[in-house]
Every structure is written in structure tokens, then in C-alpha cells.
Amino acid sequence: MESIDIPSIVLGGLAYGMLLFIVSVGLSVTMGLMGFVNLAHGAFAMIGGYVVVTLMGGLGANFFLALLAAFVLVALVSVVFERLLYAPLYRADELSQVLLTIGLVFMMIATVTFFWGTEPKTIRLPSYLAGPMDLGFTSFPAYRIFMIGVGAAMIVALWLGFERTTIGAQIRAAVDNRRMAQSLGINVDRLFTMTFALGSGLAAMGGGLGIEIIGLNPQYALNYLVFFLIVVAVGGLGSIRGTFLAALVIGMFDFAGKRLYPEAGAFFIYAITIAVLLWRPQGLFGRR
Amino acid sequence: MTVAEAAATALATRHRVRPLEALPWVLAVAAFFALPEYLAVGTQILILVLFALSLDLVLGYAGIVTLGHAAFFGTGAYAVGLLSAHLDWHEPITGLIVAAAAAALVGLVSGWVLLRTHGLTLLMLTMATMTLLHELANEQENLTGGFDGLPVEIDPVLGLLRFSPLTYSGQYLYALGLLFLMFLVVRRVVYSPFGHSLTGIRENILRMHAVGAPVRQRLVTVYTISAAIAGVAGGLFAQVNAYITLDVLSLERAATALIVLILGGHGRLYGAFVGAALYMILEDELAKEFPEFWQFGLGLVLVLIALFAREGLTGLFAQAAERFRKRARS
């Protein structure tokens, strides 16, 4: 076993945590808004990844343009899904929502397998992101540094949008108390559609950003779903701060755990999750 | 007869055996004689019915939405597997008793801790518990064989019914007998006062608290019973297949039971039978040749059920029968 390199484990865990945050944050806010159990969120991320692969591989598109395209495309598609399929089940019980979204996951996995096959996909990163980067005290893959930067920028942008804009205030109000927000004239349904689109778009972008870190194959939608859900449940529904913290903690622990005790695998994460949820069933920063 | 009297009669007689209830058993016995070449699939169907039936107790009757029921199926399977591999214990019936006890223990402990929560938290906790066991089995490679799996060796049942890879009639009869026995238990539980209070908890948990029902204790009890039955299903699976892998503890396994139950109709006892038979027959025909279409179709069916037919196939059948009866009356 290689010697234990603390800085590289911390940086690696941080990069992974940022990725978890970008994918999960939309899920947290939409679940907090509507209480809708959306198991198809990971599938949106997967579709985003395949859009990036296709644009870059077939059309030779720029990495950043491909990410942007994935964001826009999946956000648009998710609005159609939301209006046609999700909206009729807002008042329904969890079981219906679980069934609907698991069904969607299966359909998306099948579609992806049909068009792209089961082999894992990779992309060619721009050269300045591909190699290692010398940080003085350690040398580290440039892409992970980039990932940490993107995650940090994202949290700042989301925080500003959430805390400093009217729409952000409306979303916070609706998460806190939907009925009260509605009676104050806030159109919660439209707010939800917008948030849903934004969240799915971010997930799609995360899917593209994550190809280099966690890979991409049709089982992605199910394999990583558990992680995204854990981040959301541990962080607390509807809380950006909670999601961020949970994503970092879980990213770090998972990365460090797999690096230091590879045989124990993901054991830590599930143990931590169970402990946190038993201690605070509503999550670290959840309301109620 | 007044409305109140009619309602009283309906309540007093709802536990009675209806003639139609014999149908699945008649079909299962008929299949034994008529379709000898399909008994291997038949045995798998019976095991899936048993697993889905155990899920029906918690999901359909008590309203506990869980995505982690394979935790108990897997515990049962590994109980049988570990006994056979490490203790030279190949006797099938005592093996299943141990499987049931092990799964019940896991159910009791996890239920005691988890059933205080509900909604998404409960969903996550059941899933996390199952995955924890999955990781545990993966890690303890010396005991469980880890990723490579564990071979299971089983003696003939009572020295009569052999688990031969050449003829499946023995294991089919064994599975059918066990399913019947377990079904009697489940049916008994569902129509007991305890079963009614579970339905009450499903329909209105606040009111059950308000009338002083020991809600959590009942939920833990039914969770433990259900876990034991799922453990039997898992143990049976290990005995029949003579080999188990980590797959018995996977999310796919839990999701399959859920799909089967929902397809057939939950909270209806026979939903598990209809769902499992249909699922396995379709899978046998379609999954190997057209895996993508099979998965896509499965997803589509789930979406349609969620949007339009929450009661599943047996529910649709019951509605059609009701409509027919009304038309006959008018």
C-alpha cells in the first residue's frame, strides 16, 4: 500500500464532496418544496453525462459548451416530465411517487443502454485539465482542483441566489410553510417547476463533470442514487447549507474510507447515515 | 337488510374462505402435472411469491414504505449458506427455521430502531440498513465468499424430496408446501384483530395514536413477522439455487419484490401471486432476448400503475367484478 498522503486525501475527498453537492442540491430543494420523493434525480444526472459524452465525442464540442448544453437540455426535458408526470402526484402518497420515479429510472436506463450500450464512457478533457498540477506541497490531478473550484463557485452563486433575490426568498418561504406562502400570493407550483428545472439542470451538469471522477455507465442512475439521497436526507430537505455540509462530510469519509480501508468499502457511509438519521430524523439542518 | 346490517355481515364474514381463493393453489398443483419442464421457473415463482407476500404484510397492510426488504431475504439466504458451508448443517427444514430466526432478529432490532421515523427518512434508513448488510457480507470474505458467492449444499427434505439439478419436482413440491404454510400464517395475521389495527395504522396513524393503540409496538411486531417470512423465502432461495451471491442483499432484489407486489396489487393477499407469476413468466420470455425492452416496459408499467391503477391487477379485476355485479343488479 502506498504511504498515506493526507493532503491528497483531503483534496480528493473535497472534490468528490463538491460533485455530490452539485448533483444533490436540486434534489434537496425540490424535495423540501413539495415533499416529492424523486428517485429519478440520479437518472437526470446520467442523461446529462451522456449528452456531454455525445457532444464531445461525436461533434468534438468544447467541454464547457457541452456542460452548458447538458444543463439546458435536461432542464427543458425535466419541465416536460414535471408538468406531465410529477404534477398529478403532488398530493399522492410516497408509494405512488416512489413507483413513478423508479419506473422513470428503469425507462431512462433502458433508453441509455439501447443507444449507448453498457460499456463505461469516457471523455477527453481539455489538456490544461488533464494532467497533474504542482501545488508546492503536493502534486494533484488538475481536474480535481478544477472540480473544487467549480463547487465553490456554485455554492456562492446558489447562496447569493437563495439569500439575496426575491425568488430565493420565495423558495425559502415555500419550503418553510407552503400554505402560508401560497396565501401570500406566491405561485408555488410555478416556483416548483422553475426549481425543478434548475435542480435537474445542475444534476445534468454534475453528471458531465463527474465522468472523470465517478465514471458513467447505465447503472449510474441506480448506483449513485443512494449517495445522492443520503446527502439530501443527512443534510436536511430544502437546506442548501445542510446539503453542502453533508456532501462534503460524506464525500470526505467515503473517499478517505475507500483509500485507507479499501476492504471496508462504503461501510462507513451507511453507518454514519444511520447514526445521523436516528439522531436527527429530519437531517442536520432540516426544519420540522 | 339495512345498510348497517349489510356492513356488519360483510365485516363478520370477510375472513371466510371464498371459492375463488382455491384458484392459485389449483393452478400451482395443475402446473406440477401439466408443465413438468417449467418446474424450475415455477419454483422461482413460488419463492418470489413468498418474498412479495412478506412485503405485502408491511407495505400493503401496515403501510410501511420500505426499499430495504432484501435485508431479510439476504439474511435468510446467508443463514442457510453459512450453516451449510461452515457447520456442515445440510438439513433443510431446521435450516429454514434458523433462517427465519436470524431474519426475525434483524427485523426486530432494525424495526425497533427505525420505525420511529417515517417518510423519506424511513425510506433511506431501510435502504441504508440493507446496504450496510450488503457491505458487511462483501467485507467478511472468509465467511461469505464475498463477491464470488457461496455454494450451498442441502440434504433431501425428510429424506424424500431431493434437490437435484436434473429433476425439479422435489423442490417445487417443497416450495409449494412451504408457501402454503406461510400463506396460512399471513392470512391468519391479516384477518386477526391485530391485522385490523395494522390497517387502521395505515389509514390514519394519528387516530390510532389517539384511541390509545400501541402503534409502534404493532409496527415492530408486524415488521418482525414479515422479516421472518422474508428470511424463509431467502433461505429457500439459497437451498433451491445451491449458490448465493451478494445479489440477495441488493437494491434490485428489494425493488423486484416491490414491483411484483405493486403489479399484482398490494394489501390484497393474492396480489403477490398474480404479480410474481406474471413477472417471472414475462422475464423468462423477454429479459434474455430483449433486455432493454424488458426494462423499458417494466418502467412504463410502473409509471402507468402509479398514475392510473394504484390497486394493481387484482384491484382492476375487483373493480371490474364490482361494475359487473352492479350492472347485473340494475
**pLDDT tens readout for residues A24-39:** 988 888 887 777 888 8
Enumerate the domain spans of chain B: 39-329
Q: Does B9 touch chain A (CB under 8 A)?
A: no
Burial of residue B320, with CB atoms counted within 10 A of its CB: 0-12 exposed, 13-18 middle, 19 or more buried = exposed
In this prediction, residue B164 carries a pLDDT of: 62
Cβ contacts of residue A49 below 8 Å, gap of 6+? A70, A121, A204, A207, A208, A210, A211, A216, A220
Q: How far is CA B320 from the centre of its chain?
A: 26
CB contact under 8 A, A278 and B296: no
Residue A121 is classified by DSSP as -
Q: How do residues B238-263 score in pLDDT, each as one tens digit? A: 888 888 888 888 888 898 899 899 88
Distance from CA of A125 to the nearest CA of B (A): 30
Cβ contacts of residue A268 below 8 Å, gap of 6+? A253, A254, A257
CB contact under 8 A, B139 and A110: no
Q: Are B258 and A105 in contact (CB under 8 A)?
A: no
User: What backbone phi and psi angles, to 5 degrees, belong to B157?
Assistant: -70, 125
| A41-75: b (≥16 Cβ within 10 Å) or e | bbbbbbbbbbbbbbbbeeeebebeebbbbbbebbb
Three-state helix/strand/coil letters over A165-220? CHHHHHHHHHHHCHHHHHHCCCCHHHHHHHHHHHHHHHHHHHHHHHHHHHCCCCCH
Domains in chain A, ordered, with CATH?
6-114+139-279 (1.10.3470)
Considering chain A, what percentage of its residues have pLDDT values greater than 90? Answer: 13
| ipTM associated with this complex | 0.83
Over 80: is that where the pLDDT of A134 sits? no
Lowest mean pLDDT among A2-11, A85-94, A221-230: A2-11
In this prediction, residue B11 carries a pLDDT of: 74
Contacts of B299 in chain A (CB under 8 A): 102-110
Long-range contacts of B198-204 (CB under 8 A, 24+ apart): B198/B61, B198/B62, B198/B63, B198/B222, B199/B61, B199/B267, B201/B62, B201/B63, B202/B61, B202/B62, B202/B63, B202/B267, B203/B63
From B118, which residue of chain A is nearest by alpha-carbon distance?
A281
In this prediction, residue A1 carries a pLDDT of: 44
Q: How do residues A160-206 score in pLDDT, each as one tens digit? A: 888 888 888 888 888 888 888 888 888 888 888 888 898 899 899 98
Residue B163's pLDDT band (boundaries 50, 70, 90)? low
In this prediction, residue A288 carries a pLDDT of: 55
Highest mean predicted confidence (pLDDT) among A47-51, A127-131, B319-323: A47-51
Contacts of B138 in chain A (CB under 8 A): 265
- Give the integer Cα–Cα distance in Å for B97 and B228: 9
Q: How do residues B110-123 score in pLDDT, each as one tens digit? A: 999 888 888 778 88
Q: How do residues A57-108 score in pLDDT, each as one tens digit? A: 877 778 888 889 999 999 999 999 988 888 888 878 888 888 899 899 999 9
From B311, which residue of chain A is nearest by alpha-carbon distance?
A96
Q: Does B251 touch chain A (CB under 8 A)?
A: yes
Q: What average pLDDT is seen over chain A?
A: 84
Sign of CA dihedral B8, B9, B15, B21: negative
Contacts of A263 in chain B (CB under 8 A): 139, 141
CB contact under 8 A, B302 and A106: yes
**Average pLDDT rounded to a whole number, residues B294-302:** 86
In this prediction, residue A257 carries a pLDDT of: 81
Picking from B124, B262, B294, the nearest residue to A99 by CB comes out as B262
Burial of residue B292, with CB atoms counted within 10 A of its CB: 0-12 exposed, 13-18 middle, 19 or more buried = middle
In this prediction, residue B285 carries a pLDDT of: 78
Contacts of A278 in chain B (CB under 8 A): 113-114, 117, 125
